[in-house]
């Protein structure tokens, strides 16, 4: 049966973890969905992973529509989430037009990076039938404001603000919250504070779901690996097996382990 936002809500209520992975093309979308991964994310990480840029900022709506349509054709029942690229939701009107394009291309929901300023945008999308995932913490589209890729929410003030923002965005209509690179205790508090399922990456093992970039978990990303990455191909014989091992490890909460987690 196809995964919907209701499936994820039910899993949260039952305390069962769910898995998500990025895919950018039809073949991998099919492998990922057939391996039992619940959510496929067409991440704007494709700007780095596929296009070789040093940030996600060069990604355009045209790129996202193209990759979303490729993924949609290979998908076998996972929930398809598409990233809205940098400045494609700078105004509510832009957000509506651009989200519509991604939904037409086959997305079931969209993901936006930001804090409380996104309330009106999320409300407008939600009211018009577009489920939204609100991405908080290390939001890579803000790399130039952050001055680098850094763990977020480390001091008390930032931590309290992040909890507040997650609650506000849920109240505005966000169906999923995604936390990237935040200390595990803060991610655990946010996961308890909202009814919406919370997906983590570098956010510890207490979130409702986990996500990784496909190339990272297959060990093919060049250069230094972030702390939260695990190569699942290293202990398996094939890519489908590696992806299935990831889905199983998330379900059993054996991934992420301590070594993948920011404690404070
Ligand atoms: O673009 C992406 O792949 C993402 C995940 C890292 C959450 O946003
Ligand atoms: Na992204």
Question: Taking phi first (over 0 means left), then psi (-120 to 50 degrees means alpha), and beta for anything else, what does residue 60 get?
Answer: beta
- The CA angle 126-171-100, to the nearest 5 degrees, is 15
Does the annotation count 180 as an active-site position? yes
The answer on whether 113 is annotated among ligand-binding residues is yes
Length of the chain: 264
Q: Could you identify the residue written with the tokens 């990456």?
A: 201
- Measured from the alpha carbon of residue 212, the closest ligand is 1
Nearest residue (by CA) to ligand 1, atom 1, is: 43
Structure tokens given for 201? 């990456």
Q: Please report which confidence band the pLDDT of residue 184 belongs to, taking 50, 70 and 90 as the band edges.
A: very high
ipTM of predicted assembly, 2 dp: 0.99
Report whether pLDDT(224) > 90.
no
Q: Which domains does the chain have, with CATH numbers?
A: 5-260 (3.20.20.60)
Nearest atom in ligand 1 to the alpha carbon of residue 46 is: 1
- Ligand 1 pocket list (CB less than 6 A): 22, 41, 43-45, 83, 178, 180, 201, 211, 213
Residue 102 confidence (pLDDT)? 99
- How large is the angle between the packed helices 119-127 and 92-104, nearest 10 degrees? 40
Catalytic residue among 180, 241, 252, 258: 180
Q: Could you identify the residue written with the tokens 């510890």?
A: 204
Cα 234 to middle of ligand 2, angstroms:
25
Q: Could you identify the residue written with the tokens 């391996």?
A: 35
Per residue in 21-54, pLDDT tens? 999 999 999 999 999 999 999 999 999 999 999 9
Nearest residue (by CA) to ligand 1, atom 4, is: 43
Contact 152, 158 (CB under 8 A): yes
Nearest atom in ligand 1 to the alpha carbon of residue 212 is: 6
- The CA angle 38-42-43, to the nearest 5 degrees, is 110
Nearest residue (by CA) to ligand 1, atom 2, is: 43
Contacts of residues 253-260 at CB distance under 8 Å and 24 or more positions apart, as own/partner, are 253/17, 253/205, 255/205, 255/210, 255/230, 256/200, 256/202, 256/204, 256/205, 256/210, 256/228, 256/230, 257/205, 257/230, 259/227, 260/202, 260/227, 260/228, 260/229, 260/230
Q: Is the pTM of this model over 0.90?
A: yes
Per residue in 70-116, pLDDT tens? 999 999 999 999 999 999 999 999 999 999 999 999 999 999 999 99
């Amino acid at each position: 049966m196809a995964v919907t936002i209701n499936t994820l809500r039910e899993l949260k209520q039952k305390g069962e973890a769910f898995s998500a992975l990025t895919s950018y093309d039809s073949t991998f979308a099919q492998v990922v969905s057939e391996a039992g991964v619940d959510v496929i994310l067409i991440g704007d990480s494709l700007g780095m992973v596929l296009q070789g840029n040093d940030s996600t900022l060069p990604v355009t709506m045209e790129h996202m529509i193209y990759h979303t349509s490729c993924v949609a054709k290979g998908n076998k029942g996972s929930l398809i989430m598409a990233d809205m690229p940098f400045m494609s939701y700078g105004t509510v009107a832009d957000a509506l037009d651009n989200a519509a394009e991604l939904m037409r291309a086959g997305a079931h929901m969209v993901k936006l990076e930001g804090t409380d300023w996104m309330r009106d945008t999320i409300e407008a999308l939600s009211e018009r039938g577009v489920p939204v995932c609100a991405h908080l913490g290390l939001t890579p589209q803000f790399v130039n404001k952050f001055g680098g890729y850094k763990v977020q929410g480390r001091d008390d003030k930032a931590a309290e603000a992040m909890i507040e923002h997650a609650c506000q965005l849920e109240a505005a209509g966000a169906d999923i919250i995604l936390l990237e690179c935040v200390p595990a205790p803060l991610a655990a508090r946010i996961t308890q504070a909202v009814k919406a399922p919370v997906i983590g990456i570098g956010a510890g093992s207490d979130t409702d779901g986990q996500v990784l970039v496909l190339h990272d978990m297959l060990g093919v990303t060049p250069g230094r690996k972030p702390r939260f990455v695990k190569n699942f191909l290293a202990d398996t014989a094939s890519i489908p097996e590696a992806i299935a091992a990831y889905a199983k490890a998330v379900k059993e909460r054996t991934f992420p382990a301590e070594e993948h987690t920011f404690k404070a």
